[in-house]
Amino acid sequence: MKPLLSKTTKPFLIYVLIVLTISIPVYYFVVDTIWKSELDEHNQIIVEKTAYEFNQLKLSEDQLGKSLKLWNNIQPETNIEKISANRIKGDSVYTNERHLPFISEHKKERYRCLEKVVYIQNRPYLFTIQTNIEETHETIAVIAMITVFFFVMIVVGLLYMNRRLSASIWRPFRETLDRLKTFKLNSQNKIEFPASDTVEFEELNQSLYKLIEHNISVYKTQKEFTENASHELQTPLAIIKNKLDLLLQDQDLTEKQYRIVEDMNRALTRSSRINKNLLLLAKIDNNQFDNSENFSFDQLLRQSIDILKEHFEQKNIDVQEYIESNVRLNGNSSLTEIMINNLIVNAIRHTLPDGSIAIKLRDSVFEISNSGVEKLNTDLLFKRFSKLSADHHGSGLGLSIIQEICKFHHWTVSYRFENNHHVFSVNL
């Protein structure tokens, strides 16, 4: 994951790089065109000034011929040649490349040339002048270096500005985010966001205020309803169960009536268990348990095994124990005991008679495996009231409670099926 400014800066830098790269040949074309235009103007001025100066000298024809010959010798890039009237033509401007053998055999230079007919003492002369143009590769190299320099300046400037902007403009957003991270719905404390002079951030804060207030209100209502419903149901369920127990002890009941009452008692027992489990889940969700205890996990595990020993014997289940000693943890011992019991009871319930169960506690990993035939549906495994077998005695909340207890302690629970064994692992 990358910061927002980095995501916006990278495309911008790529765009700038592309534009600057394209600008190099454009710069060269523009500079070269301007250069040629200036050289054409320079050549035109030289030609006209030279013709004007020769006309001002008022030389004889012989003196003029000697002067022109001398001019052509001492000005190697110019040539003044007398022409006949039928060779008179318009000005010609062109670019030419010439070898410079006096410098190097492979040396080439570009020249901007002008051929113009001038009149000296009323006679036509063809004036040719050539002026050196800066070499192409040198021009491109200089332009490229300047472009790279400015691109580096842009990159450095943007990175610096990004850091400054991230530290100043985005400070209110980061403070808001930090307060949201520490906010807990069950604490019900009013959250305060920092004031910001940025319209978008202030709108975000106001929207968060309204959202949090609404969630707190809904949370309070839901919590009160869950607690009240669970507590209020406990009393009538207990009364009905007592009445049914008394009715079962009545000697005048017929066999049919006894079966009906017994079915009602089983359904009532299951309803009471579901109610208690829902109340437990609600308390876990509301963080109503203390997690600051330091307890011995291995002792709780051995106690649970001893308590459930009778259930192992009823189904003739072979129990294998691999329990490490002195495993101490911080958390809630009551919830941990419930988790251990639920995992063991779940293993017993889904193990066929004469099956096997292995209970392991090693390297901060608590693992229970039981013999089985087919892998469980992992999509429904920890969902509330999901049925993974034909057994109707459970409440459908056992594995959900296990998962919530693990979340409460920041543990992770996982399931796998290997070697015809269902394996539940809890990383402590």
Where do the structural domains in the chain lie, given as residue ranges? 4-159, 200-285, 293-427
Lowest mean pLDDT across 82-86, 309-313, 389-393:
389-393
Question: Residue 330: is it exposed, middle or buried by C-beta count within 10 angstroms (0-12/13-18/19+)?
Answer: exposed
Q: What is the pLDDT of residue 44?
A: 92
Average pLDDT over residues 49-70: 89
Are β-strands 421-427 and 365-371 bridged in parallel, bridged antiparallel, or unpaired?
antiparallel
Q: Say which residue, 279 or 123, is predicted with more confidence.
A: 123
Q: What percent of the chain has pLDDT over 90?
A: 22
CATH fold for domain 4-159: Beta-Lactamase (3.30.450)
Q: Residue 355 in contact with residue 408, Cβ under 8 Å?
A: no
Q: What is the pLDDT of residues 94-112, one digit of tens each?
A: 888 877 665 566 667 788 8
Determine the Cα–Cα distance for residues 256 and 217; give it in Å rounded to an integer.
Answer: 51
- Is residue 392 scored above 50 in pLDDT? no
Determine the Cα–Cα distance for residues 106 and 129; give it in Å rounded to an integer.
Answer: 23
CATH architecture type of domain 200-285: Orthogonal Bundle (1.10)
Q: What is the pLDDT of residues 235-248, one digit of tens each?
A: 787 888 888 888 87
Q: What is the mean pLDDT of the chain?
A: 83
Q: Residue 99 in contact with residue 107, Cβ under 8 Å?
A: yes
Determine the Cα–Cα distance for residues 210 and 218; give it in Å rounded to an integer.
Answer: 12
- The answer regarding whether domain 293-427 maps to CATH 3.30.565.10 reads yes
Q: What is the pLDDT of residue 101?
A: 61
Q: pLDDT band for position 18 (50/70/90)? A: confident
Q: Write the CA distances from 259 to 194, 237, 238, 242, 272, integer angstroms.
A: 67, 20, 20, 17, 20
Q: What is the pLDDT of residue 88?
A: 85
Average pLDDT over residues 122-126: 90
118 φ/ψ angles, rounded to the nearest 5 degrees = -125, 160
- Is residue 390 scored above 80 in pLDDT? no
Q: What is the pLDDT of residue 14?
A: 84
Most confident stretch, 117-121, 155-159, 258-262, 382-386: 117-121
Q: Write the CA distances from 212 to 195, 198, 209, 223, 282, integer angstroms.
A: 17, 21, 5, 16, 20
Q: Which residues contact 142 (CB under 8 A, 6 or more apart)?
A: none
